[in-house]
Amino acid sequence: MENKIHGVYLVTDRPLCRTHGLAEVVELSALGGVSLVQLREKETDSREFLELAKHLKKILTPFAIPLLINDRLDICLAAGADGVHLGQSDLPWQEARRILGNNAIIGLSLETKEDYHSLIETNPKPPLDYLAVSPVFDTNTKTNTKPAWGLEGLKWLRSKTTIPIVAIGGINESNAETVVKAGADSIAVVSAICSAEDPKLATEILSKKFHT
């Protein structure tokens, strides 16, 4: 699964998909070369969340792009999605691995260096598909986050682990390249694609940062 964690990673935000709507943004990003999509819904009831997940899975399957679900293992199981993204307040990753099995993609957000230390104390070689540096820069999309890691923090984590790293938070066209150079295998974006006038073009431009 490690080869899946590279390039541009889209985290969805329906309110930000003003111009195109969620499904169209996801399809355009797929056409633009996105490598992973995470469906993130915080206020939606389970039935609607499942319907959205099934719809996105259908869109992404022909592209062989994995769909991850934020937090909700049950939605992942019911929708036949490829895995989950877990934050520090979500279910423990050990439970997710036990419930979803070895083939699921499971990523964990680290908000601080302490989060990394606790993780490694529990399990020196955690069976996680990626660690997310969250947020790498300050962002308006998520407001309840701890201080940003910055490029130095990202480099620090890169020096500590061989687990693929996803950087998220405040990444856009102008800073994406420095994030990749600092060691991120993947850059996760929300508004840079969801709010883009042309989500396909936005994805293409971000994807090129991995080939320079």
Where do contacts with a second copy occur on this chain (CB under 8 A)?
45-48, 50, 71-75, 77-78, 88-92, 95, 99
Between 144 and 212, name the residue whose CB sits nearer to a second copy: 144
How buried is residue 168: exposed, middle or buried, by Cβ count under 10 Å (0-12/13-18/19+)?
A: buried
Q: And the tokens for 54?
A: 């099934």
Residue 70 among known ligand-binding residues:
yes
Residue 54 among known ligand-binding residues:
no
Between 51 and 138, name the residue whose CB sits nearer to a second copy: 51
User: CB of residue 53 vs a second copy: minimum separation in angstroms?
Assistant: 11
User: CB of residue 95 vs a second copy: minimum separation in angstroms?
Assistant: 4
User: CB of residue 188 vs a second copy: minimum separation in angstroms?
Assistant: 20
User: CB of residue 161 vs a second copy: minimum separation in angstroms?
Assistant: 23
Q: 60 and 31 in contact (C-beta within 8 Å)?
A: no
User: CB of residue 96 vs a second copy: minimum separation in angstroms?
Assistant: 8
Between 48 and 138, name the residue whose CB sits nearer to a second copy: 48
Query: Which of 185, 189, 200, 186 minimizes the C-alpha distance to 26?
Result: 200
Residue 209 among known ligand-binding residues:
no
Between 73 and 192, name the residue whose CB sits nearer to a second copy: 73
Rg (CA), the chain: 16
User: Amino acid identity, residue 158?
Assistant: R
Residue 139 among known ligand-binding residues:
yes
Query: Which of 14, 83, 95, 19 minimizes the C-alpha distance to 49?
Result: 14
The angle subtended at Cα 52 by Cα 51 and Cα 53, nearest 5°, is: 90
Strands (DSSP E) along 122-162, which ranges?
130-133
Residue 71 among known ligand-binding residues:
yes
State in Å, rounded, how far the first CA of the chain is from the last one.
Answer: 24
Query: Which of 41, 32, 51 minimizes the C-alpha distance to 192?
Result: 32
Between 31 and 99, name the residue whose CB sits nearer to a second copy: 99
Residue 174 among known ligand-binding residues:
no
Residue 40 among known ligand-binding residues:
yes
Dist CA 44 CA 99 (whole Å): 23
Which residues participate in the annotated binding site? 38-42, 70-71, 90, 109, 139-142, 170, 190-191
Which residues participate in the annotated binding site for Mg(2+)? 71, 90
